Amino acid sequence: MAQHPQLPKWTEIAEKQMKGKSVETLSWMTPEGIKVKPLYTAEDLEGMESANTLPGMAPYVRGPMATMYTGRPWTIRQYAGFSTAKESNAFYHKALAAGQKGLSVAFDLATHRGYDSDHPRVAGDIGKAGVAIDSVEDMKILFNGIPLDQMSVSMTMNGAVIPILAGYIVAAEEQGVAHDKLEGTIQNDILKEYLTRNTYIYPPTPSMRVISDIMAYCSREMPKYNTISISGYHMMEAGANSVLQTAFTLADGVEYVKAALKSGMDVDTFAPRLSFFFGIGMNFFMDIAMLRAARFLWYRLMSQFNPKNAKSSMLRTHCQTSGWSLTEQDPHNNIIRTTLEAMTAALGGTQSLHTNSFDEAIGLPTDFSARIARNTQIIIQEESQICHVIDPLGGSYYLESLTNSIINESQKIIDEINELGGMAKAIESGMPKMRIEESAARKQARIDQGLDVIVGVNKYKLANEKIDFEVREVPATVRDEQIARIKEIKASRDNVAVERALADLTNAAKNGGNLLEAALPAVRARATVGEISTAMESVFGRFVATTRCISGAYSSEYTGDNNAVTAIKQRTNVFLEKQGRRPRLLVTKMGQDGHDRGFKVVASAYADLGFDVDISPMFQTPEEAAKMAIENDVHLVGASSLAAGHKSLIPALIEELKKIGGGEILVVAGGIIPPGDYDFLYKAGVKAIFGPGTPIPESADKTLALLEEKYLQ
């Protein structure tokens, strides 16, 4: 490659300034394995296919629309759902009045997994991480006073997509809105659920059929509706770096396209309705480049299907700022982090954006924190003047180089996936999951060593943390309210008609027929979400998660001679010598919360520190977790909770342990737990609580100290 004629001279000056050290030492290797130089020049862009293109034209690096934000800025779409349909509805009305365009509904985990609120497995999950929806009656309350023919509605739903989408359609029908007026997006991205988020219901094959059926129905009935939002966000949240996020997300997309083609659809009937969802982290330029690279690659990948409609190979995306980058410590810093990430999404050319509330590492957003989050976007759009120019960073030597590097690195992984036979096969092989977990463990190790700085967590820590703002509480009565309404519905509906409609749905699952279409009569007859899910589950079965966990990644990234780590390894060895076995702990996730990154990073890192770590299956009840703790005879149970179920599930675990003779087993908790709940949990018998961002050596040190106190004194 040619170099700038004056580069040798610059090198000379620079090295003089560095007192003789080579400029090479200023290069930085990113977590993606991309080498970033201290200086880029026009020569770096020579021969680059992705540089100097135009927006609205293939390969769409600079944006899918010709005018981008100069015509209309991105849609401010805040994801929200609170406990009950009524409360969420009130929140939506307030947000719309305050300048938000478009709604985005968060459902609770019981709904995601296709359970009604009265199901015993989900007692700890109702209304916790989003709104509880049991039937179309709840759906109608959710959208009360919101004309669905004028409002674009995005729904984050992947497991129970059939009853929820059908519920939305029927709620609209009963508002008098025709199907073809409906506008919005359903996430409907099941492949990534098997990779990271785990809110699936059925095994992969029937789940892929569900998606094809939805695409087929909507391409016919709801032409303005986006039938899928292919999501990398959750991969990033699970620890994937930007190259992994790009490669796996696009590979998922290709798999959906293939499934739709296989079901007999023409590529141009559905491909224009495919939308994407990327997560934006703190690596400012990297993620701007990521969005540009993703558009380029999607265009390239779609070419193999020979679409006639240009829109078929145009990547349109929603973005969300990273939840992982939010800290529980000194939480007002999160406003600044979110602002930077929102800038990244805007400069990367997103079509819509959700900005997180600063208190999300502590609890669910309040009206106040939601307002600040929303205003973050409004201020960028309306005060910063950045919307006047399309892709303003296009042509930046650095950014274009980075874009090109992500294209190349992602393509390598996509090629690897193709060799495995596509993403579905790759997921079966466990490859993507292992890569993400490895990336997560490495990131954790870098944070714990202070190589990745997080202000307030591993640098510039506050001496005294104090929460001086309101934290939202989920009322304990939500479950009772939902159960009462289910009873009411079941008593007032025509049960014969419900049975018949459900039998028809089961029949469609067994013998073919469009599942979404077959579910509509059941929804109209007031069948519940749980009943509809079960009607299909009786044919498809319920998918059982395979949890794999890699070891060694944490310690191999933890390179420096770190005394904390060595000391813990020594202490686990001393424990082994004195007790005859290593400290043994069970890490468990109870309830329907499927976020398993933290729990796996902890398992992997603790094993690297010399603990024996048992991992429980996902979605445990407290009884099941206690049985496993007893049977494996562990010293300690670590319960991970990220979805607000901690106040009921963890005390229940402690009670159950006592009941079956395991009273001496210690219990610690980790995850997103509002500091206001700490005392409650300590009183219930929890020995230690580790909030988000706790360095592993710190939590391991405390955990080990608890065990040493109990067993070695």
Partner 1 sequence: MLNDPQHYVTGVLNRDRLTLARTITLIESTHPNHQQLAQTIVDRLLPYTGRGIRIGITGVPGAGKSTYIERFGTMLTGLGHRVAVLAIDPSSSRSGGSILGDKTRMERLAVDPNAFIRPSPSGGTLGGVGRKTRETMLVCEAAGYDVVIIETVGVGQSETTVASMVDFFLVLMIAGAGDELQGMKKGVLEVADAIVINKADGDNLLRAEIAQKEYQTALHMRMANSPNWCPPVLTCSAVEGKGIDKIWETILDHRDKLTVSGEMAEKRKTQALDWMAFLIDEGLRHWFYTSPHVREALPTLRRNVEENKTSPTAAADSLLAFLYTRNGR
Q: Which residues are catalytic?
A: 79, 233-234, 589, 593, 595
Residue 673 beta carbon to partner 1: minimum distance, rounded to whole angstroms: 24
* CA separation, residue 357 to residues 101, 380, 384 (Å): 17, 16, 20
Q: Which is nearer to partner 1, 74 or 558 (CB)?
A: 558
Residue 79 beta carbon to partner 1: minimum distance, rounded to whole angstroms: 29
Q: Which is nearer to partner 1, 268 or 612 (CB)?
A: 612
Nearest residue to 559 via CA among 438, 456, 436, 450? 450
Tokens of 389: 């120019």
Q: How far apart are the first and last CA of the chain?
A: 66
242 and 406 Cβ atoms separated by less than 8 Å: yes
Q: Which is nearer to partner 1, 532 or 613 (CB)?
A: 613
Beta-bridge partner residues of 241: none
Q: Which is nearer to partner 1, 391 or 596 (CB)?
A: 596
Tokens of 429: 């092989």
* Residues engaged in binding partner 1 (CB under 8 A): 429-430, 544-549, 551-552, 555, 569, 572-573, 576-582, 603-604, 606-618, 624, 627-628, 630-633, 660-662
* CA separation, residue 88 to residues 82, 106, 127, 155, 470 (Å): 5, 9, 10, 13, 18
Q: Say how far apart CA 159 and CA 227 lie, in whole Å.
A: 14
Residue 663 beta carbon to partner 1: minimum distance, rounded to whole angstroms: 11
Q: Which is nearer to partner 1, 458 or 572 (CB)?
A: 572
Q: Which is nearer to partner 1, 468 or 577 (CB)?
A: 577
DSSP string, 452-486: S--BTTTBS--SS----S--B---TTHHHHHHHHH
Q: Which is nearer to partner 1, 169 or 549 (CB)?
A: 549
409 and 32 Cβ atoms separated by less than 8 Å: yes
298 and 259 Cβ atoms separated by less than 8 Å: no
Percent helix, strand and coil across the chain, each rounded to 5? 50, 10, 40
Q: Say how far apart CA 211 and CA 230 lie, in whole Å.
A: 12
Residue 31 beta carbon to partner 1: minimum distance, rounded to whole angstroms: 23
Residue 616 beta carbon to partner 1: minimum distance, rounded to whole angstroms: 7
Q: Say how far apart CA 192 and CA 339 lie, in whole Å.
A: 27
Tokens of 25: 């030492």
Q: Which is nearer to partner 1, 531 or 614 (CB)?
A: 614
Q: Which is nearer to partner 1, 100 or 616 (CB)?
A: 616
Residue 578 beta carbon to partner 1: minimum distance, rounded to whole angstroms: 8
Residue 83: which residues within 8 A CB-CB, separation 6 or more? 108, 127, 128, 131, 132, 474, 475, 478
160 and 529 Cβ atoms separated by less than 8 Å: yes
Residue 661 beta carbon to partner 1: minimum distance, rounded to whole angstroms: 4
Q: Say how far apart CA 279 and CA 345 lie, in whole Å.
A: 9
Nearest residue to 257 via CA among 266, 246, 248, 247? 266
CA Rg, the chain, in Å? 26
Q: Which residue has the tokens 């794999």?
A: 548
Is the CA virtual torsion 295, 297, 302, 306 positive or negative? positive
Residue 657 beta carbon to partner 1: minimum distance, rounded to whole angstroms: 11
Q: Classify burial at 264, counting beta carbons within 10 Å of its beta carbon; exposed 0-12, middle 13-18, buried 19 or more.
A: exposed
Tokens of 523: 């929804």
Q: Which is nearer to partner 1, 412 or 581 (CB)?
A: 581
Residue 647 beta carbon to partner 1: minimum distance, rounded to whole angstroms: 24
Residue 516 beta carbon to partner 1: minimum distance, rounded to whole angstroms: 25
240 and 290 Cβ atoms separated by less than 8 Å: no
Beta-bridge partner residues of 131: 107
Residue 259: which residues within 8 A CB-CB, separation 6 or more? 208, 211, 212
